[in-house]
A and B are shown apart, each in its own frame.
Chain A
Amino acid sequence: MKDAFLRNKWAVAALWALGALYACALFADFLAPYSFKDEARGLSYCPPTAIHIIHEGRLRSPFVYGMKLTFNEYRQRIYVTDRAKVYPVKFFSSRLFLVDAPGRLYLLGADSRGRDVFSRIIYGARVSLTIGLIGVLISFALGLLVGGIAGYYGGRIDNVLMRLCEVLMMAPGFYLLLALRAAVPDNFNSVQVYFAIVIILSVIGWAGLARVVRGMCLSLRERDYVLAAKTFGLSDVQIIIRHILPHTVAYSIAAVMLSIPGYILGESALSLIGLGIQDPYASWGNMLSDAMSIVRIKFAPWILWPAFFIFISVVCFNVIGDALRDALDPMLKREANV
């Protein structure tokens, strides 16, 4: 199983990429040159700063030039490099790299308030990448529990629980999301909002899983090898551990991986329209709310960088999920090879 997964080069690459993103989120305080709320109003939408190594024809350690805001003949804001001011890049001081004030190092440009987009992406990863994990945990616990009960007992309980799932699945997800968000008090602080969003997303997400788990339990408990194990005197718990769970694991793990992107996108969507994580706290979604105007995208395209990271992480989770599903399904794989 492990080998089958590791043979999939894309999946391994995706695993590394995700690992790197999560590491960034974990070590944000060190990797990000600025805090997520570190503003420089005079440098609104400052473009990415170039890092130079040659100053007046002479090689020296990496540095950046100062930036100055001016206006061109059309009264548009433009930034010019001020070659008189040189700010050397300092590595491994309190942060991985930074320059002394008043110099600013914008690796991926600045947003409307002159905050560093790169730093905010790293801090935003904390929200955007964990919301999926926590959300999936909650909805999985719910889905496995409800699906397991429905599948195991069948009959009326099954009927009631499955109709409930169908009602949830019938409602258009995004509007349900909005309705639930509207039901949450608006005086929550950022941590409370974060958990409110997680819970809202998981309440929407568990129904699909419950249905599948229920179907699997229904069919698995009638398998001949389960019956055989019963006649050998194995207890229910032993049978579940040996013969039922291993067969749902393939689906469950793949489904976990494949459903995480839904949470990332759900949080982004909520934050994008201003109902999720609030400024000044960063999430990839609320950073993109800055990019809702075509004019801003035209003059400061770098504010779209969070979308790139959303894209990368969603693709990675999907690739890993697919690879896991293939690797964990020995029958599918091996018999297909015969």
Chain B
Amino acid sequence: MLLELKNIQKTFADRAGGQVRAVDGVSLSVTAGESCALVGESGCGKTTLARIVMGLVRPDAGEMLFEGQPVWGDRQRERYFRRMARMVFQDPFASLDPRYTVRSILEEALHLEPKCSAEACSSKMKSVLTAVGLSGEILSRYPHEFSGGERQRIAIGRALMTGPKLLVLDEAVSSLDVIIQKEVLDCLVALQKDRGLTYIFITHNIKAAHRIAHKIAVMRSGKIVEWGTIGA
């Protein structure tokens, strides 16, 4: 098992003083090299779950294992996990800081990596960009010069910079139009084949989930209500 979630719970206080159970006892396991789709309506807790996986939100209860060991609490393992697990966000216009060039954006992803020479970094960036179907010549350009699909490819490329094992794709194709969606999905499928990536693919679009996933989990009000594998 690459990633195991055990009975994850997260409750938020709402404005009226009540409590909202965003994630209510979710257990999930994902084996290396497979894609697990999380589908469900808006507000069912998919994104919160993704953020819990990425350590952006602390769960109230539950346990998370990466490669069989708990992630949080040990500095060394946290650093390792941060390099091995990367997230791609929904809105490619919001996930790339408009003030930085593609080069700095990609460089930032290498934050926890050992320092590499400028040339090694450049060639790494170029190979990542080629892998997502972009030209290696765009490093000095700014995010606003690209279309939504291209930005999302840059975001995927950024996620690949450290050679991760797990990608959490939070509605990664939802904001793109149908044709671009297909292209990006094809690109993701190809990347998975080449690099043996594991995906947690969060979407409300069953068709997109069907294209990419091996397993589908359906969430409603913070719980996984259905669960199954996709037949060949």
Contact = CB atoms under 8 A, between A and B. Distances in A.
A227 B99 contact: no
A332 to B, nearest CB: 10
A335 B144 contact: yes
Contact of B82 (A225, A233, A246, A330): A233
A242 B100 CA distance: 9
Nearest to A250: B99
A interface secondary structure, majority: helix
Interface stretch (B2-10, B84-92, B186-194): B84-92
B140 to A, nearest CB: 15
B94 A223 contact: yes
Contact of B54 (A223, A231, A234): A231
Interface residues of B, number: 28
Given A233-B82, A331-B144, A228 B87 contact: yes
Interface string B102-141: 0000001101100000000000000000000000000000
Contact of B87 (A231, A233, A334): A231
Contact of B111 (A232, A246, A331): A232
Nearest to B78: A233
Q: Chain A, interface size: which category?
A: 10 to 19
Interface in B154-175: 155, 158
Interface string A268-288: 000000000000000000000
A83 B50 CA distance: 92
B29 interface: no
Given A227-B56, A331-B144, A232 B109 contact: yes
A243 interface: yes
Contact of A229 (B55, B79, B94, B108): B108
A168 B28 CA distance: 52
A247 interface: yes
B95 A228 contact: yes
Contact of B144 (A228, A232, A242, A334): A334
Interface string A311-338: 0000000000000000000110011000
Interface string B65-92: 0000000000000110011011101110
Given A224-B94, A225-B97, A234 B56 contact: no
A221 to B, nearest CB: 11
A230 interface: yes
Nearest to B105: A225
A234 B111 contact: yes
A224 B82 contact: no
Interface string B212-226: 000000000000000
Contacts of B202: none
Given A225-B96, A247-B99, A331-B98, A231 B82 contact: yes
Contacts of A223: 94
Interface in A212-258: 223-225, 227-234, 242-243, 246-247
A334 B145 CA distance: 9
Interface centre among A229, A230, A233, A234 (most CB of B within 10 A): A233
A231 B99 contact: no
A231 B112 contact: no
Given A228-B89, A334-B144, A233 B99 contact: no
Contact of B86 (A225, A231, A247): A231
A224 B55 contact: no
Contacts of B91: 224
Interface string B15-44: 000000000000000000000000000000
Given A233-B79, A234-B111, A335-B144, A225 B56 contact: no
B154 to A, nearest CB: 12
Contacts of A334: 144
A46 B9 CA distance: 84
B180 to A, nearest CB: 18
A334 B99 CA distance: 12
Nearest to A223: B94
22 contacts: A224-B89, A225-B94, A225-B95, A227-B54, A227-B56, A227-B89, A228-B87, A228-B155, A229-B108, A230-B56, A231-B86, A233-B79, A233-B83, A233-B111, A234-B111, A242-B108, A243-B97, A246-B99, A247-B99, A330-B98, A330-B142, A331-B144
Interface of B: 51, 54-56, 78-79, 82-83, 85-87, 89-91, 94-99, 108-109, 111-112, 142, 144, 155, 158
Given A232-B108, A233-B111, A330-B99, 16 more contacts: A224-B95, A225-B94, A225-B95, A227-B56, A227-B87, A228-B89, A231-B54, A231-B82, A231-B85, A232-B111, A233-B79, A233-B82, A233-B83, A246-B99, A247-B99, A330-B98
